[in-house]
Amino acid sequence: MKKLKSMIHHSLGWVLTAVFLLPLLWVLVASLRQVGLPPPTTVEWYQPDPQWQNYQTIFERVPMTRYLQNSLVVVATAVPLTLIIASMAGFGISQLPVRPRRQLVYVSIALLIVPAAAVWLFRFQILRWMGLLDSLWALILPAFTGSNALFVLLFYWTFRRIPGEMFEAAQLDGATAVTIWWRLALPLARPTIVGVTVLTFVMYWSDFISPILYIFSPRYYTLAVGLQILNQLDRTNWPLLMAGAVVMTAPVILMFFILQRFFLHDLSLSNLFEKN
């Protein structure tokens, strides 16, 4: 009986894995299909004659290289900036006396609740007044908010769990706050740094709404917009569209495999919630 239950449990796990993963396999297979072939009669599980040049074709049809470059510039700037701003804020909040500390935690939580659409209209205006509309800075700027108040809170929770005596001892030795943050606190926050890096990467890499709202010149388009352009160019050229989707998704999945060690295994996330 117990054995049967365990078997059912295991097979259920595999069924769920299949449901969530198989579509991705189909996409990969579809991206290698010959362009212009009549529709298949059944679901295709593999491609007898994989057309790898589909991946080359999308770079020729639209300026994919330019889009890719822009996306990389945005990510390469926004991720380190986010790490600095969010870890500094998290560290600062964790070192403040009780009252301001609590107030700032509440402010961060309140920031989490603000719906993204609520800032669309006036971010547009503020970017215009700053002269940053229609530039890659329009996409990078949210890094100055720590990208997401959750990241500030994650750093805050991490630093709160480090015994305060450590920081006090360093203070008495005359260490400045910057030294303590950089030399003492950050090395102890490695899992949080990795987690926030991955989440921030995914956030900026995938961002579709900001370029739609704030970018008008094709030379500043990112990969997300490029995919939509590819879609508008030829809505039924499935092999090319799926190749585009794969190019956009592959780096994120790579990042995800780094992330899942930190978020899905063991207890790292639950540790963060237990003590704050």
Partner 1 sequence: MNNGIISRLSLRRYHVQIWLFVVPFLLGAMVLTILPALATVAVAFTNYNAVAAPTWAGMDNFMRLLSSVYVRISLRNTIYFLALAVPLRLLGALLLALLLQSERRGFGLHRAAVYLPTVIPEVAYALIWLWILNPVYGPLNMLLAGLGVQGPAWLTEPGTARFSIVLLSLFTIGEGFVILLTGLRTIPRSYYEAARVDGATAWQSFWRITLPLILPWLLLLTFRDMVISLQNTFTPSFVLTYGGPYYATTFVPLLLYELAFDFFDFGMAAALLLFTYLVIGLIIMGILNLVGSERGADDF
Site for partner 1 in 74-133 (CB under 8 A): 85-86, 88-89, 91-93, 95-96, 104, 107, 111, 113-126
Residue among 41, 48, 131, 187 that touches partner 1 (CB under 8 A): 41
Give min distance, CB of 52 to partner 1, in A.
Answer: 19
Structure tokens at 258: 């780094």
Give min distance, CB of 39 to partner 1, in A.
Answer: 5
Contact call for residues 243 and 227 (beta carbons, < 8 A) = no
Q: What span, in angstroms and rounded, lies between the C-alpha atoms of 276 and 270? A: 11
Q: What span, in angstroms and rounded, lies between the C-alpha atoms of 38 and 236? A: 12
Structure tokens at 85: 């701003």
Q: Could you tell me which of 171, 143, 165 has the C-alpha nearest to residue 87?
A: 143
What amino acid is encoded at 120 in this protein?
A: W
Stretch that binds partner 1, among 26-34, 47-55, 59-67, 186-194 (CB under 8 A): 26-34
Nearer to partner 1, 50 or 251 (CB): 251
Nearer to partner 1, 25 or 76 (CB): 25
Q: Which of residues 47-66 bind partner 1 (CB under 8 A)?
A: none
Residue among 7, 16, 169, 233 that touches partner 1 (CB under 8 A): 16
Q: Which of residues 235-274 bind partner 1 (CB under 8 A)?
A: 235-236, 238, 241-242, 244-246, 248-249, 252-253, 255-257, 259-260, 263-265, 267, 269-270, 273-274
Contact call for residues 259 and 52 (beta carbons, < 8 A) = no
Q: What span, in angstroms and rounded, lies between the C-alpha atoms of 158 and 87? A: 10
Give min distance, CB of 219 to partner 1, in A.
Answer: 19
Q: Which of residues 178-237 bind partner 1 (CB under 8 A)?
A: 178, 181, 202, 205-206, 208-209, 212-213, 224-225, 227-228, 231, 235-236
Phi, psi of 135 (to 5 degrees): -145, 165
Map residue 41 onto helix, strand or coil.
Answer: coil
Q: What span, in angstroms and rounded, lies between the C-alpha atoms of 115 and 130? A: 23
